[in-house]
Amino acid sequence: NAGVTQTPKFQVLKTGQSMTLQCAQDMNHNSMYWYRQDPGMGLRLIYYSASEGTTDKGEVPNGYNVSRLNKREFSLRLESAAPSQTSVYFCASSPQGASREKLFFGSGTQLSVL
Amino acid sequence: KNQVEQSPQSLIILEGKNCTLQCNYTVSPFSNLRWYKQDTGRGPVSLTIMTFSENTKSNGRYTATLDADTKQSSLHITASQLSDSASYICVVSAGLVRDDKIIFGKGTRLHILP
């Protein structure tokens, strides 16, 4: 049972390049989330998907787009990367919603934008 | 403003000793409080989750307490081990409905020395 799998683990981009972070969970969870973690700050929600077919903005959505491809997969896209998007990105999932139940996190993607 | 404050920012103790980490919150309406452990280079892993009516919950050598009146929580680690070296994150949920109303503290970085 792999849990939440994120790819890639590391990525370096130049300003203006685009990329997609992939996330998949094998726990049949309804809700999925993308967070970013920066030094000296708590995890901040970028986007979330409460159920298959729905997505909503979180606290810091600017510069990002998401796709809930199916129940298992939730991808995060940076259309035109900026240095301010240098961060560690975590995908997470929850059975029925993070406000009620614990989150299961992936191992993270370390992204550097030069 | 909904906030979660953790103290200390970092802590160094010797292996075998006990320690207590603090979490104060100003989140309303309060739904539940969780503690997560985050090893370096990994995603956070849930330790405990407590609702308004619970004031103590244990998970092995980890014991969390909650005082909903003073809006404080603590995480006590007994007989620390080298593997306890990690960041400990306090997370408060502000309601059961919206998944974006989950506030993360900045974490306490714990170092266990042999």
Chain B residue with CA closest to A110: the answer is B41
The answer, yes or no, to whether residue A99 has pLDDT greater than 80, is no
pLDDT in tens, B54-63: 999 999 999 9
Nearest to A99 among B31, B46, B106 (CB): B31
Do the Cβ atoms of A31 and B99 come within 8 Å?
Answer: yes
| Spatial separation of the C-alpha atoms in residues A2 and A9, rounded to whole Å | 15
How many residues does the structure list for chain A?
Answer: 114
Q: What is chain B's alpha carbon radius of gyration, rounded to the nearest angstrom?
A: 14
Write out the two tokens for A88.
């560690």
B113 touching chain A per CB within 8 A: no
Mean pLDDT of all residues in chain A?
Answer: 94
Amino acid B97: pLDDT: 65
Partnered with residue B38 across adjacent β-strands are: B87
pLDDT in tens, A67-81: 998 999 999 999 999
Nearest to B100 among A4, A58, A103 (CB): A58
Amino acid B1: pLDDT: 79
pLDDT in tens, B22-46: 999 998 888 899 999 999 999 999 9
B105 touching chain A per CB within 8 A: yes
CB pairs under 8 A between A and B: 66
